[in-house]
Structure 1
Amino acid sequence: MVDRNTQYSPTGVRTAAEIDAGLRSYMLTVYNYMTIALALTGFVALGVFQVPALQDLFYQTAMAPDGSRMLVGVTGLGYIAMFSPLAFVLVLSFGINRMQSSTAQLVFWAFAAVFGLSLSNIFLVYSGTSIARTFFVTAAAFGGLSLYGYTTKKSLSAFGSFLVMGLFGLIIAMLVNMFLQSTMMQFVISVAGVLIFAGLTAYDTQKIKLMYLEDDHPELARKKAIMGALTLYLDFINLFMFLLRFMGNRE
């Protein structure tokens, strides 16, 4: 273990102040990547919603009594867009060690854009005002939880293991409810989803912080920042989607 106040590197001993400065720079890069990805996702989602020709590529819609479009189904291309983000996550997770950091960054931006395609249907289901309100609530909650994960001295590793098991249970419950279509089970899933991803936000922030090593090669540090941004991006999106089920007003 390296002492917290000094750290050896090929160029000598680094002080605690230098280590803290490097850590802050690293975490700022993670948050910047995540923020840009969220903005890209939102831009693409809103763009698809605002162009009827693009809507028709991904969704089957019908005119509501008030003249707005409502979602009635998903096209084949829409299903491809819905499941494509998983492919990008797998590519980054298993292939990043063989990529240049610049390539990994491009894959991350492409992932964020494709995720925007898959999220564009929320504008056909919920009102714009409730989507904006839920986004700001999510941002505030995420900020507080991530700050806690960054600043706490308590190890969240045991808590994180419990949350990961809960996440697997949540996925199984969601798959089962696709067939049962139980309203009560859907409510329980939504509550559990909010709690699990709230906890994961704090846990993942601490994990990303602990992954930082001052004497990492810059290329490796950039890759770590990209994977950290991906992790926090997914925490934010999932927290937002589960909160939207409670706070969203349907069109």
Structure 2
Amino acid sequence: MDDKVYEFVEDQTMTMQQYINNIFKWMVIGVLTTFLTAFALERTSFMAHAGVLPLLLVVFQFAVVIRLSRHLMTMKPATAKALYITYSVITGITFSYVISSYTGFTVSLAFLVAAIYFGVLVILGTVVKMDLTRIGTLCLTGLFVYLIFAIIVMIFNLPVGSLIMPLISLALFAGITAYDMQKSLQLYHRASSNKEMLEKISIYGAFNLYLDFMNIFLDILQLLGDNN
């Protein structure tokens, strides 16, 4: 009887390693979904004839982010996964237009460099004992300011060097990525006895890291800048 009870308890928990594996499994699934979608559409004229669809896709992406952020605790894990995959597909559609402007070699090199840079930051977020909350908050605030400045630059066509903006973004996402990884590990300890909650939190952690990686990739792609 005791053995059966023990087995039941074991089935309802998730070890730290399983939790981390789940985060990276879903992060990789999201990245692959985005790039497979992008490469499948890049040689087509889909985006050129999409009309207002790109704008609608951006609005939907924001809606998914808000829903995951505000309603994660109440939704089912399957719903969180469905929203995440949907977001990855939509990002792939918009990315098809971006990568079509660059050579295949440049896109591949940017992906490799982004993966290495991202991997180093994740390792730092895992092994560093210092609390990165303050650094993460500062970087997120800096990112908000950066986005406002980027919009102003775009609207008024300000003469900002092509290297400055992506370098600033890479510096900001260095802190954000390490912080997101550390935050995911901290969340495990708060819900370590609830397997369903850990599953949802791991999807949320994967989503945050996915966003970090995609932004890092875009910055590096812009720095390499070998257009078709």
Tell me whether the two structures share a fold, i.e. TM-score over 0.5: yes
Deviations 1:42-74 (A, max 9, x none): 011111113x2xx23x225xxxxxxxxxxxxx7
Q: Structure 1 or 2: larger strand share?
A: 1
Check whether the contact 2:19–2:202 (CA below 8 A) recurs between aligned residues: yes
Which of 219, 225, 250 matches 2:196? 219
What residue number does 1:34 align with?
27
Letter in 1 for 2:94: S
- What's the counterpart of residue 49 of structure 1? 42
In terms of Rg, which structure is larger? 1
Is structure 2 residue 48 aligned with structure 1 residue 59? yes
Is 1:147 equivalent to 2:140 in the alignment?
no
Q: 1:104: which partner in 2? A: 80
- Which residue in 2 is equivalent to 1:70? none
Contact 1:59/1:78, CA 8 A, preserved across alignment: no
Question: Which residue among 183, 195, 201 is the counterpart of 1:207?
Answer: 183
2:67 to 77, 80, 91: 91
For each residue in 1:164-192, what CA deviation from the matched residue of structure 2 results, as whole angstroms up to 9, or x when unmatched? 11111111111111212124255422211
Q: Which residue of 2 aligns with 1:163?
A: 139
Q: How many pairs are equivalent?
A: 217
Match of 1:114 among 81, 86, 90: 90
Task: Confirm whether residue 25 of structure 1 aligns to residue 18 of structure 2.
Answer: yes
Q: What letter is aligned with 1:28?
A: N
Which letter does structure 2 place at the counterpart of 1:110? T
Q: Secondary structure at the match of 2:160?
A: helix
Secondary structure, counterpart of 1:33 in structure 2: helix
TM-score (norm. length: structure 2): 0.88
Q: Are residues 1:240 and 2:194 paired?
A: no
Residue 4 of structure 1: aligned partner: none
Q: When the two structures are superposed, what TM-score results if normalisation uses the length of structure 1?
A: 0.81
Is the contact between residue 126 and residue 182 of structure 2 (CA under 8 Å) also seen in structure 1? yes
Partner Cα distance (1:132, 1:215) in 2: 38
Query: What is the one-letter code of the residue matched to 2:113?
Result: V
Mapped partners of 1:167, 1:190: distance in 2: 12
User: What is the alpha-carbon distance in structure 2 between the residues aligned to residue 123 and residue 164 of structure 1?
Assistant: 26
1:103 corresponds to which letter in structure 2? T
- The answer as to whether partners of 2:153 and 2:160 remain within 8 angstroms in 1 is no
Shift of 1:106: 1.0
Task: Identify which of structures 1 and 2 has the higher relative contact order when contacts are C-alpha pairs closer than 8 Å and 6+ apart.
Answer: 2
Distance, in Å, in 2 between the alignment partners of 1:127 and 1:134 is 11
Q: Which amino acid aligns with 1:100?
A: K
Letter aligned with residue 36 of structure 1? I
Letter in 2 for 1:247: L
Q: Which runs of 5+ in 2 are unaligned?
A: 1-5, 7-12
Whole-Å Cα distance in 2 between the matches of residues 190 and 215 of structure 1?
38
1:131 matched residue in structure 2:
107
What is the RMSD of the two structures over their aligned residues, measured on CA atoms? 2.0
Per the alignment, in what secondary structure is the counterpart of residue 35 of structure 2?
helix
